[in-house]
């Protein structure tokens, strides 16, 4: 791995560990559809996890088309964001976590979001996993770096 790739991975790791929420974009019948989700990343950054109820539109859209993206950013809603904010666009395919992986991946999710334990444990909720294919990191509002996973 090149020095530059290690730097990018370090920034990705930092943002994915500190930020709590992401915007999930799915494909709806007529338009893209977005939702705010609480997420967690696996240590290797290859998987992003989130929970939803199976009765939601986002769940329906994801079982119809598994392709999705998650936008994670650290903006502060200030003019300084033009130079300080960073954003990650994670792109990949989303699947419901199977029962064999549920304990390990669920532990990762609940470690970051312990206050969501009841929601996570509800029989109507599904733990979803994005298998990340690519990250796009934007810094200083216009510097763009892509990292294939």
**pLDDT tops 90 at residue 60:** yes
With cut-offs at 50, 70 and 90, classify the pLDDT of residue 81: low
- For 112, the token pair is 């970051």
Q: 67-73 and 143-148: which strand pairing?
A: unpaired
With a pLDDT cut of 70, the percent of the chain lying above it is: 93
Residue that is written with structure tokens 């990018």 in the block: 8
**pLDDT tops 50 at residue 65:** yes
**pLDDT tops 90 at residue 83:** no
Per the model's pLDDT, the better-predicted residue between 44 and 84 turns out to be 44
- Distance (Å, whole) CA 4 – CA 13: 14
pLDDT digits (tens, 9 = 90+) for 3-32: 567 887 888 999 999 999 999 999 999 999
User: pTM for this structure?
Assistant: 0.91
- CA quadruple 21, 60, 148, 40: dihedral positive or negative? positive
Tell me how many degrees the CA angle 31-34-54 measures, rounded to the nearest 5: 105
The pLDDT assigned to 90 comes to 97
Residue that is written with structure tokens 């300080």 in the block: 84
Spatial neighbors of 86 by CB under 8 A, at least 6 apart, are: 11, 15, 73, 74, 137, 138, 139
Q: Specify whether the CB–CB gap between 41 and 69 falls below 8 A.
A: no
Q: How many CB atoms lie under 10 A from the CB of residue 125?
A: 18
DSSP 54: T
With cut-offs at 50, 70 and 90, classify the pLDDT of residue 149: confident
- Distance (Å, whole) CA 86 – CA 72: 8
**pLDDT tops 50 at residue 1:** no
Q: At the fourth CATH level, which superfamily is domain 3-144?
A: Electron Transport, Fmn-binding Protein; Chain A (2.30.110.10)
With a pLDDT cut of 90, the percent of the chain lying above it is: 70
Per the model's pLDDT, the better-predicted residue between 82 and 60 turns out to be 60
- Distance (Å, whole) CA 107 – CA 25: 25
With cut-offs at 50, 70 and 90, classify the pLDDT of residue 86: confident
């Amino acid at each position: 791995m090149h020095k530059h790739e290690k730097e990018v991975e370090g920034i990705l790791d930092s943002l994915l560990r500190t930020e709590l929420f992401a915007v999930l974009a799915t494909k709806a019948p007529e338009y893209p559809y977005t939702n705010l989700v609480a997420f967690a990343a696996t240590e290797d950054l290859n998987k992003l996890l989130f929970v939803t109820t199976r009765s939601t539109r986002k769940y329906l859209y994801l079982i119809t088309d598994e392709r999705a993206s998650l936008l994670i950013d650290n903006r502060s809603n200030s003019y300084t964001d033009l130079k300080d904010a960073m954003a990650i666009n994670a792109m990949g395919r989303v699947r419901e976590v199977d029962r064999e992986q549920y304990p390990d991946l669920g532990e990762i999710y609940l470690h970051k979001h312990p206050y969501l334990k009841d929601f996570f444990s509800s029989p109507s909720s599904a733990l979803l996993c994005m298998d990340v294919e690519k990250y796009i990191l934007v810094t200083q509002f216009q510097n763009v770096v892509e990292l294939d996973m």
